[in-house]
């Protein structure tokens, strides 16, 4: 059973996102089962467990999923003027050392114009032992920002939802990446289901 604080949090999620999830996923009776919060059970990864370009990473438990939340630095190829994440490559160890030293002096991570810091989310179901993906986790999305600061992205929320009559382990994990620009904001939602399939939909002012 949930405690009173958790029940209040889940009720807030249902009020805020319940109609959206039902409409976009054609579900009539759903239950929110858990939410990613700063107080969630977590494990901060050691240096030798990080992927290339990662400054840090933490694994959280959200419902029946393990969520891997990482701060990762990418190098932007010279001449790449637009936002083309598929062309960006993880920063090397020398640059990571440099940016950590910069943080110790200034108190913040501050990349140069040739690099971009991102917040990456990957996840796996607690019963999924597939090692095809990096460390068994499926990459879901990343939140980044423009070098000119004209737009920024952030991971707005992460939670699990199941259909009312199904067991808890059948829940899907939902991740919302919010894009905020000069004139409007939009949300891209990602769903990882218990079978390991990822789908997405977008919500914006002109939909």
Q: How far apart are CA 5 and CA 7, in angstroms?
A: 5
Who has greater pLDDT, 148 or 56? 56
Q: What is the pLDDT of residue 134?
A: 57
Who has greater pLDDT, 205 or 29? 29
The helix or strand, by DSSP H or E, that contains position 28, with its residue range, turns out to be none
Nearest to 145 by CA among 103, 89, 83, 71: 83
pLDDT tens digits for range 134-191: 577 999 999 998 777 788 899 999 999 998 888 999 999 999 999 998 777 899 999 9
pLDDT tens digits for range 63-100: 999 999 999 999 998 877 778 889 999 999 999 998 88
Confidence of residue 5 (pLDDT cuts 50, 70, 90): low
Q: What is the pLDDT of residue 136?
A: 79
Confidence of residue 6 (pLDDT cuts 50, 70, 90): low
Who has greater pLDDT, 123 or 3? 123
pLDDT tens digits for range 116-140: 999 999 999 998 876 555 577 999 9
Q: How far apart are CA 27 and CA 31, in angstroms?
A: 10
Who has greater pLDDT, 177 or 104? 177
Q: What is the pLDDT of residue 64?
A: 93
Q: What is the pLDDT of residue 141?
A: 96
Q: What is the pLDDT of residue 133?
A: 57
Residue given tokens 């999305």 in the structure block: 141
Q: Is 15 exposed, middle or buried (0-12, 13-18, 19+ CB in 10 A)?
A: exposed
Q: What is the pLDDT of residue 132?
A: 52
Q: What is the pLDDT of residue 205?
A: 62
Residue given tokens 């919060």 in the structure block: 37
pTM of the model: 0.88
Q: Provide the domain limits for residue 20.
A: 4-203
Q: What is the pLDDT of residue 131?
A: 58
* Domain tally, the chain: 1
């Amino acid at each position: 059973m949930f405690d009173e604080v958790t029940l209040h949090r889940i009720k807030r999620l249902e009020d805020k996102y319940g109609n959206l999830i039902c409409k976009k996923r054609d579900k009539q009776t759903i239950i929110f089962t858990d939410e990613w919060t700063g107080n969630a059970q977590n494990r901060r990864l050691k240096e030798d467990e990080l992927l290339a370009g990662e400054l840090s990473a933490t694994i959280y438990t959200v419902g029946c999923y393990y969520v891997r939340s990482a701060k990762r630095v990418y190098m932007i190829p010279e001449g790449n003027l637009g936002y083309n994440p598929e062309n960006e490559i993880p920063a090397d160890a020398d640059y990571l050392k440099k940016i950590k030293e910069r943080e110790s002096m200034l108190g913040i991570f501050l990349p140069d114009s040739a690099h971009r810091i991102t917040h990456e989310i990957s996840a796996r179901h607690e019963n999924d032992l597939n090692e095809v993906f990096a460390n068994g986790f499926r990459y879901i999305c990343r939140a980044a920002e423009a070098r000119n600061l004209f737009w920024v992205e952030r991971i707005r929320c992460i939670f699990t939802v199941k259909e009312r009559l199904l067991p808890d382990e059948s829940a899907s994990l939902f991740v919302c990446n919010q894009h905020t620009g000069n004139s409007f904001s939009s949300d891209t939602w990602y769903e990882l289901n218990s079978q390991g399939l990822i789908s997405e939909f977008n919500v914006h002012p002109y939909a």
